Structure 1
Amino acid sequence: MKAFCGGANPNTGAPDRLEDTEEYDYHQEIARSCFADMLHDSDRNQKYYRGIRAAVARVQARGERVVVLDIGTGTGLLSMMAATAGAHLCYAVEVFQPMAEAARRIVEKNGFSEKIKIINKHSTEVTVGTDGEMQTKANVLITELFDTELIGEGALPSYEHAHRHLVQEACEAVPHRATVYAQLVESELLSGWARLRPVEEAGLRLAPPPSVGLCAGAHSVCDVQLSQVPPGSFRPLGPLCTMFSVDFSKPVSSASQSHSSQFVALSGGRAQVVLSWWDLDMDPSGSVVCSMAPSWTYSQPEGAPWRDHWMQSVYFLPSESSVAEGEELRLTVCHDDYSLWFGLRSPSQQDSQPEAPPPRPCCTCQAHLVWTRPRFGELNDGRRTERYIRALRSVLTADSVCLAVGDGGLLPVFAHMIGAQKVFSLESSRMCRQVIKEVLEVNSMEGAVELLDIRPEQLTSGDLGGDQISVLLGEPFFSGGLLPWHGLFFWYCRTALAGLLRPGAAILPRGATLHMVAVEFKDLWRIRAPCAACEGFDVSAMDQMVQKSLDFRESREAEPHPLWEYPCRALTRPAGVMTFDFTQHVPQQPISSRGSLPLTRTGRCHGVALWMEYHLTDDITVSAGLIGPVSEQGACEWSRHRKQGVYFLRSPWETSASGAAVSYSFTFEPDTGDVKMDFGVAPQ
């Protein structure tokens, strides 16, 4: 039976009803997973293999029959490692049905069907006994239940249940132990992802609401490729601290706990951010360690393993504070069964207040529910703000009637400050309206911007007090957008509002250009690369499943990625390939663009990067992609505020700069707002 899931088309804003079947969900889950990245993580795989061989050997040395419980088996890889190492029987538990089926095929193809039993259940639903899925308790426990925050996939409840019901008291665990580390730092870059800073640009001064600065923020981890955050963009205020460890070979508790580390401040500054990552000890001696530490902690950074399934974490302290060099500080981490949070205390606070763990962060200002962390960074970008203010000054007059379209933006506030006669803003979200209202109140501009909860096509002249719009504003930014062309919703809004525009009304931005560049990724290619063999095992069934997902409808299109976290080399020059004129209506017929870009560098082309550049005026442009020229070697600098589109090629192209070119074909479909695309290699 078919079902339908509702939503709004991120371009047109029209209701979007997508056919939703089991097959659709399955393919989308596979297409967006990181299974290929994990299979390509040779550092992880080899260290798991070493830990498993050692654990099996320890049980064999006790004269016991080796029975393995593998929770979250995925492809069955770790169970096959255990069987190869000498395990007599492996119970491989996998709750995701398509993966469990793939594991069955992989296990069978590798000849382990008699030794490995696939159980398609959550481990907490597995039972032991004559009527259970397991005939006997295991004496080796193998798991891969971890995420960037270590415990975010429910590792602690799963371990707790396993030790109570599924494994023997003296079991061996792989990994044996996990250790969480943290470091207190000052960073204007990172703290700008959680705090709204004062605006002091082009003669305008705008203060943020105090409630935003005092708010502890959203309770969700900020996971990033910390290796791509330059060490020069933060200053360590303390040493790297060992916060806590979990011994997986012993009973584990999922109850909330707190752990503290006391240290002396290495330097003075603003305590703003905590950087965190973790290690896995694969054996009790700690001789086999799988580390999530960022590359700049290595003596040879280029030798650091890359992975996208486990990254590093940034935590924002509930409030910023000044610390002095040599001051004694206590950093505390708390965790429940799924998440971590941090707090900082000085000895003076400890003397005056009873010791208590920091409360779980909870947003009370609503801004952290309205603005994502990249959005905070975008609003705090002074250079970007200056361009918008300069563009506004060029189009506003004393009698301007402005209408802003977007989600939670500051442009309508700036328009009033510059001197527009009237300013209206369409804000469909109640929380957006509340946050902007508070910004206005804090800056003594109550009522200066009229916030309207009306869709563009429903707006009438009466809603504007009988006025017509002389300036239509947008960044564009819409919270539902992911891909670069989702900002074209502004164009649809402009078209819907055409009857309310004065003749000759200014449209800001005037238009946009879709840009592309063919690239060679340093590492990101791994998340879509086939892996027919892994550590000597045939995992081609996984490739077949991924390939099937790639043949599915959405997976053949571009996908969003924050490319500042994923270094790449440009193999062609960046170029605009399709232009959208916002001063005109959205056309009724498709727009197409075809051409080719000569290859200017040799390399392995993994795909095409795509982004929008918005033309605020004839001479002021804001890029949501490349923010600087490509270096001579092809290095690219990407905006941290927006995700770019990436079209991965089915197979990489080995390119030569002599006479070859990347051909492209784009078609904008106005009915759906989609941009269809195709690429190839053509002789020049």
Structure 2
Amino acid sequence: MKTFCGRANPSTGALDWVEESEEYDYHQEIARSCYADMLHDHDRNKKYYRGIRAAVARVQARGERVVVLDIGTGTGLLSMMAVTAGADFCYAVEVFKPMAEAARRIVEKNGFSEKIKIINKHSTDVTVGPDGDMQTKANVLITELFDTELIGEGALPSYEHAHRYLVQAPCEAVPHRATVYAQLVESELLWRWARLQPVAVEGARLAPPPALGLCAGAHSVCDVQLSQVSPGSFTALGPLCTMFSVDFSKPMSSAFQSHSSQFEARAGGRAQVVLSWWDLDMDPGGSVVCSMAPSWTYAQPETAPWRDHWMQSVYFLPSERRVCEGESLRLTVCHDDYSLWYGLRSPSQQDAQPEAPPPRPCCTCQAHLVWTRPRFGELNDGRRTESYVRALRSVLTADSVCLGVSDGSLLPVFAHMMGAKKVFSLESSRTSQQVIKQVLEANSMEGGVELLEVRAEQLSSKDLGGEQVSVLMAEPFFSSSLLPWHSLFFWYCRSALAGVLRPDAAILPRAASLHLLAVEFQDLWRIRAPCGSCEGFSVSPMDEMVQKSLDFREAREAEPHPLWEYPCRALTAPAEVMTFDFTQRVPQQPISSRGSLPLIRPGRCHGVALWMEYQLIADVTVSAGLIGPVSEKGECEWSRHRKQGVYFLRSPWESSGRAAVSYSLTFEPALGDIKMDFSVAPQ
């Protein structure tokens, strides 16, 4: 059966109707999931196996029949481990239908069909009894319900229900316990992701609106690969605190709770950010521990296991506060059934009443609804701002009529500050308008920029008060963009606005270019690598399903990834492979580029990294990818503000001799997309 799905095209802005089969949707979900990453996480798998063997042995030692409940079974791997360890029967629950089907195939392929029952339901819908999904309650509970924040996938309600209805008391649990850790730090780098900082423009100061400083920010967790955040970029103001533990072998509640840790500040500074992660004890004695700690906490950082399905968390305090070395502080963490948040206070601030827990953060300024954390970092990047100011300075005159086309951009504000006659800004939403309006009001610039909530193709000279635009400007940034070339939406806007542009109008940026280089990833390759087998069990049906999803596509696709979090080595020189001239309208005919890049370093070529660079004026370019030269060893420094595109090769290429990466790229104007294909061959 085929269905038609309406999707907004991020490049053209048009509503596209895409025909898809149900099977395609399922395979795409699996292909883009983290299952491959988890299957390649040997540290996790081995420790789960050790914990499962020990739990099964404890039940057998009591002379009981071992009945296992595996919630969130995924591929069925943990259930197969349990049966191999001696379990008599296992109920494996998986709510995601295509994954449950994959688990059935994997369990059958490994010969466990008689001892493992796959239940395609949410665990809270599972029933026990003669006519139920389970014939009897389980005495071993195995789960993998965790995310970076530990409880974000609904682990607590699932455990609460399982202990009430699906497992015996007492029961063995794997993992047995989780412990959450946190550390209070000052970090200018990380704090830039949470608050708009003052911006210097031509000797003037653009102040952030007071509402932004008073806002507690977004409540959602900021998950990152903290191993890639250098300890030199933050100052620890306190010790690593044990915040709370959860015993999964006992009944629990998913209701609101708060926990505190009191300590003396180890250094003075501005308390801004809480770094957090958690450990899993796979057994009651804590002898088998699976840790999410970043690599810089290890005596030998290179021995730290890499995971992408579980990372670390960054929490921003509602407001920064100055603390003194030796000051007594109390860090409090609260959680509901799905999320965590932190608060800080000095115990001396307490009065006779019990201390009230910090309220859950909620954005009141609207900026956190418009700007993502990387976007905050981009707006706070002084060097980047100077590039745009320098470019504006070269095209602005006292008679300039400027039009900005970006989402929640400060460029129109800059143009007004720099003396443009009139400034207009197209905003994608009413919320975005309100945020920019706050910026203008905070700096006594009311009326300095006229905010227009209208699509580019609908804009007329009447909307501009009869004016013709002499400077069309963009960063370009659009909240709908996922891949680097989705920012070409600006090109389509520029084409639609041709009727309101002066013949000699300056277009900023004047052009964009697509760049690429072939890379060897340190770890990211795992998320798309075939598994075949995992800890001795065949999981090849998973590889078959992922491959089938790739075969459904007319052409291979790139994926968006923030490469600053995923170290890689360049195996070719970076190359500019396609140019888009914004001074002209979008062409009717496709733009194609073909060629090859020689591999100049030995290594394992996993794929190709792609990014956009924007030529603002002749001598000012801003990169959304590489932000410095590649080192002699091939090390790369990537922009933290934008995601880059990654095209994974079907099979990695061992580059020990002379070889080259061939590329074929075609920009389809009607689709706003770039069709691409890459291959590696010896020279």
TM-score, structure 2 length as denominator? 0.99
d(CA) in 2 for partners of 1:632, 1:239: 38
| 1:373-428 deviation line (CA, Å, top 9, x unaligned) | 00000000000000000000000000000000010000000000001000000112
d(CA) in 2 for partners of 1:372, 1:119: 38
Q: What letter is aligned with 1:676? A: K
d(CA) in 1 for partners of 2:361, 2:535: 42
| 1:534-576 deviation line (CA, Å, top 9, x unaligned) | 1111111111111112223288200100000000000000010
Aligned equivalent of 1:679: 678
The answer on whether the counterparts of 1:31 and 1:555 sit within 8 Å (CA) in structure 2 is no
Aligned equivalent of 1:7: 7
2:221 is the alignment partner of 1:217: no
Q: What letter is aligned with 1:386? A: E
| 1:616-648 deviation line (CA, Å, top 9, x unaligned) | 000000000000110110000000000000000
d(CA) in 2 for partners of 1:168, 1:677: 55
TM-superposed CA distance for 1:50, in Å, is 0.3
TM-superposed CA distance for 1:682, in Å, is 3.8
Aligned equivalent of 1:43: 43
SS in structure 1 opposite 2:19? strand
Aligned equivalent of 1:292: 292
d(CA) in 2 for partners of 1:144, 1:354: 37
Aligned equivalent of 1:236: 236
d(CA) in 2 for partners of 1:513, 1:63: 69
Aligned equivalent of 2:506: 506
Q: What letter is aligned with 2:156? A: L
d(CA) in 2 for partners of 1:182, 1:555: 45
Aligned equivalent of 1:320: 320
d(CA) in 2 for partners of 1:679, 1:43: 33
The answer on whether the counterparts of 2:555 and 2:675 sit within 8 Å (CA) in structure 1 is no
TM-superposed CA distance for 1:353, in Å, is 6.8
Aligned equivalent of 2:109: 109
Distance 1:352 1:646, change over 3 A: farther
Q: What letter is aligned with 1:661? A: A
TM-superposed CA distance for 1:431, in Å, is 0.5
Distance 1:554 1:170, change over 3 A: farther
The answer on whether the counterparts of 2:201 and 2:414 sit within 8 Å (CA) in structure 1 is no
d(CA) in 2 for partners of 1:292, 1:534: 21
SS in structure 2 opposite 1:610? strand
d(CA) in 2 for partners of 1:239, 1:479: 38
SS in structure 2 opposite 1:477? coil
Distance 1:201 1:230, change over 3 A: farther
Aligned equivalent of 1:669: 668
Aligned equivalent of 2:486: 486
The answer on whether the counterparts of 1:523 and 1:567 sit within 8 Å (CA) in structure 2 is yes
Q: Note the residue ranges of structure 2 that are not aligned, 5 or more in a row.
A: none
Aligned equivalent of 1:259: 259
SS in structure 2 opposite 1:463? coil
The answer on whether the counterparts of 1:532 and 1:543 sit within 8 Å (CA) in structure 2 is yes
Provide the aligned C-alpha RMSD in A.
Answer: 1.1
Aligned equivalent of 2:78: 78
The answer on whether the counterparts of 2:377 and 2:641 sit within 8 Å (CA) in structure 1 is yes
SS in structure 2 opposite 1:556? coil
d(CA) in 1 for partners of 2:352, 2:431: 37
2:126 is the alignment partner of 1:126: yes
SS in structure 2 opposite 1:614? strand
d(CA) in 2 for partners of 1:584, 1:353: 68
Q: What letter is aligned with 1:136? A: T
Q: What letter is aligned with 1:266? A: R
The answer on whether the counterparts of 1:201 and 1:382 sit within 8 Å (CA) in structure 2 is no
2:184 is the alignment partner of 1:184: yes
Q: What letter is aligned with 1:242? A: T
Aligned equivalent of 1:360: 360
- Mean Cα displacement is larger for which, 341-350 or 509-518? 341-350
Q: What letter is aligned with 1:659? A: R
Aligned equivalent of 2:615: 615
TM-superposed CA distance for 1:683, in Å, is 4.3
SS in structure 1 opposite 2:16? coil
d(CA) in 2 for partners of 1:323, 1:21: 58
TM-superposed CA distance for 1:508, in Å, is 0.2
Q: What letter is aligned with 1:336? A: D
Aligned equivalent of 2:631: 631
d(CA) in 2 for partners of 1:682, 1:649: 12
d(CA) in 2 for partners of 1:530, 1:680: 18
Alignment of 1:51-200 (within 5 A): 51-200=51-200
The answer on whether the counterparts of 1:520 and 1:604 sit within 8 Å (CA) in structure 2 is yes
2:648 is the alignment partner of 1:648: yes
Q: What letter is aligned with 1:442? A: A
Alignment of 1:490-569 (within 5 A): 490-553=490-553, 556-569=556-569
d(CA) in 2 for partners of 1:210, 1:164: 48
SS in structure 2 opposite 1:131? coil
TM-superposed CA distance for 1:507, in Å, is 0.3
d(CA) in 1 for partners of 2:601, 2:367: 44
Q: What letter is aligned with 1:677? A: M
The answer on whether the counterparts of 1:266 and 1:326 sit within 8 Å (CA) in structure 2 is yes
TM-superposed CA distance for 1:4, in Å, is 2.8
Aligned equivalent of 1:387: 387
Q: What letter is aligned with 1:622? A: V
d(CA) in 2 for partners of 1:555, 1:249: 48
d(CA) in 2 for partners of 1:59, 1:555: 52
d(CA) in 2 for partners of 1:303, 1:59: 34
The answer on whether the counterparts of 1:521 and 1:566 sit within 8 Å (CA) in structure 2 is yes
The answer on whether the counterparts of 1:202 and 1:390 sit within 8 Å (CA) in structure 2 is no
TM-superposed CA distance for 1:286, in Å, is 0.2
d(CA) in 2 for partners of 1:18, 1:325: 59
SS in structure 1 opposite 2:168? strand
d(CA) in 2 for partners of 1:15, 1:89: 50
The answer on whether the counterparts of 1:75 and 1:106 sit within 8 Å (CA) in structure 2 is yes
TM-superposed CA distance for 1:349, in Å, is 2.0
Distance 1:192 1:352, change over 3 A: farther
Alignment of 1:24-35 (within 5 A): 24-35=24-35
d(CA) in 2 for partners of 1:306, 1:439: 41
The answer on whether the counterparts of 1:549 and 1:555 sit within 8 Å (CA) in structure 2 is no
TM-superposed CA distance for 1:596, in Å, is 1.0
Distance 1:454 1:374, change over 3 A: same
The answer on whether the counterparts of 1:2 and 1:19 sit within 8 Å (CA) in structure 2 is yes
SS in structure 2 opposite 1:633? coil
TM-superposed CA distance for 1:32, in Å, is 1.2
TM-score, structure 1 length as denominator? 0.99
Q: What letter is aligned with 1:679? A: F
The answer on whether the counterparts of 1:507 and 1:582 sit within 8 Å (CA) in structure 2 is yes
Distance 1:222 1:554, change over 3 A: farther
d(CA) in 2 for partners of 1:670, 1:654: 36
Q: What letter is aligned with 1:316? A: F
Q: What letter is aligned with 2:168? A: Q
The answer on whether the counterparts of 1:176 and 1:282 sit within 8 Å (CA) in structure 2 is yes
2:470 is the alignment partner of 1:461: no
Count residues with an aligned counterpart: 683
Aligned equivalent of 2:659: 660
Percent identity of the aligned residues? 85
d(CA) in 2 for partners of 1:417, 1:269: 34
Distance 1:159 1:268, change over 3 A: same
d(CA) in 2 for partners of 1:372, 1:19: 31
SS in structure 1 opposite 2:480? coil
Aligned equivalent of 2:281: 281
Q: What letter is aligned with 1:271? A: A
Runs of 4+ more than 3 Å apart: 351-354
TM-superposed CA distance for 1:661, in Å, is 1.4
Q: What letter is aligned with 1:515? A: H
The answer on whether the counterparts of 2:555 and 2:676 sit within 8 Å (CA) in structure 1 is no
| 1:266-287 deviation line (CA, Å, top 9, x unaligned) | 0000000000000000000000
